[in-house]
Chain A
Amino acid sequence: MTETAIEHTAHPADHDAHGAAGHDTGAHQHHPDLTYVKVAGVLAVLTALETATYWVDLGSFHTPFLLIMMVTKFVLVLLFFMHLKFDNKLFGVLFYMGLGLTLMVYLAVLFSYRFFTR
């Protein structure tokens, strides 16, 4: 294989890599620092609302409300701070596979120990 041939072989990957790098750059261009501050502000407000439930009784809505707050905060950090919303989908697939497997395995464990019905 000659040097030229090697360069040709490397080019498609390079092109994709530049595309990915460009994608990254694009993600950062769409997320100036002000956006991060806004997301952090939303997270702070959600945490304050969660904490308020310690003093305010929401009755039967207590647990569902807290779970919704938790999932919202989880998703916000994942999409914006970890850039999953704008990064290559393969990164998300790897993470969601682990997360999905975790939910399936441990929900099965909790159900088998009758955690939700006792």
Chain B
Amino acid sequence: MSDIAAHPEVIHAVDGHDDGHAGSHGTSTGLSNNKLAMWLFLGSECLLFGGLISTYMLYRGRNGTGPGPDALWDIPLTSISSFVLLMSSLTMVLAVSHAHQGNDRKTQIWLSVTALLGATFVGAQVYEFTSFYHEGLGYTTSLFSSSFYTLTGFHGVHVSVGIIMLMALVAMIGKDKIPGNKAESVELIGLYWHFVDVVWIVIFTLVYLIPA
């Protein structure tokens, strides 16, 4: 063991914190632990959103004297914001592609476009919430309103967190402050972003398009 202590660079390599293929060196699976953890996290997120979506499905007809879904939904607006979020997945995957090619400038551009599209989606959601509120749908108006705002609000928070991570990533790439494998860091944020997108694919269909 004294030999190891005499060669810290060897310990570094075995721990998997060296350059290049960071994360996958020295792991028992030969795969990046960071990426495995992200997929595990996304799997657990399914349970969170599954619970929220199921609760909404059970309560969507319980609007009492307050306005119901049919009187509120603005399908053209929600369709456009859904399209914007879908296209942000394209720009995100292009950012990952350029990160793997080592093109920092294009990676930053596509990440910024992704954040901008995400912000557009959140802006549309804020507009939607505001108009619903003016039409008499408060958070505690009915079981329907509570479950709707909780579900879509949780999703909106996830998108907002994603935007913060994207902007932080752009800044860190610019200052060359990303430790380890830069492409993998972009890919991990990308996985989170695509997950938020697939959750919205489900919400858009089950909440907005399928009638109560």
Contact = CB atoms under 8 A, between A and B. Distances in A.
Contacts of A56: none
Contacts of A40: 86-87, 89-90
B198 interface: yes
B172 interface: no
Interface string B22-42: 001111111110011001101
A88 B31 contact: yes
A43 B88 CA distance: 12
Interface string A1-35: 11100110110111111111100110010010100
Interface string A32-55: 010011011001100100110110
Contacts, number: 172
B26 A13 contact: yes
Contact of A20 (B4, B31, B47, B54): B31
Contacts of B58: 109-110, 113, 115
A71 B40 CA distance: 21
The prevalent SS among residues of A at the interface is helix
A81 B89 contact: yes
A95 interface: yes
A64 B32 CA distance: 39
Contact-residue bracket for chain A: 35 or more
A54 B94 contact: no
A6 to B, nearest CB: 5
Given A54-B209, A101-B47, A18 B3 contact: no
A81 B92 contact: yes
A47 B86 contact: yes
A102 B191 CA distance: 19
A17 B39 contact: no
28 contacts: A2-B3, A3-B3, A6-B4, A9-B14, A10-B13, A10-B14, A13-B25, A16-B24, A16-B29, A18-B21, A19-B30, A47-B82, A47-B86, A50-B79, A51-B79, A67-B205, A70-B204, A73-B86, A73-B201, A77-B194, A81-B194, A92-B39, A94-B40, A95-B46, A96-B43, A98-B47, A99-B43, A101-B46
Interface of A: 1-3, 6-7, 9-10, 12-21, 24-25, 28, 31, 33, 36-37, 39-40, 43-44, 47, 50-51, 53-54, 62-63, 66-67, 69-70, 73-74, 77-78, 80-82, 88, 90-92, 94-99, 101-103, 105-106, 109-110, 113, 115
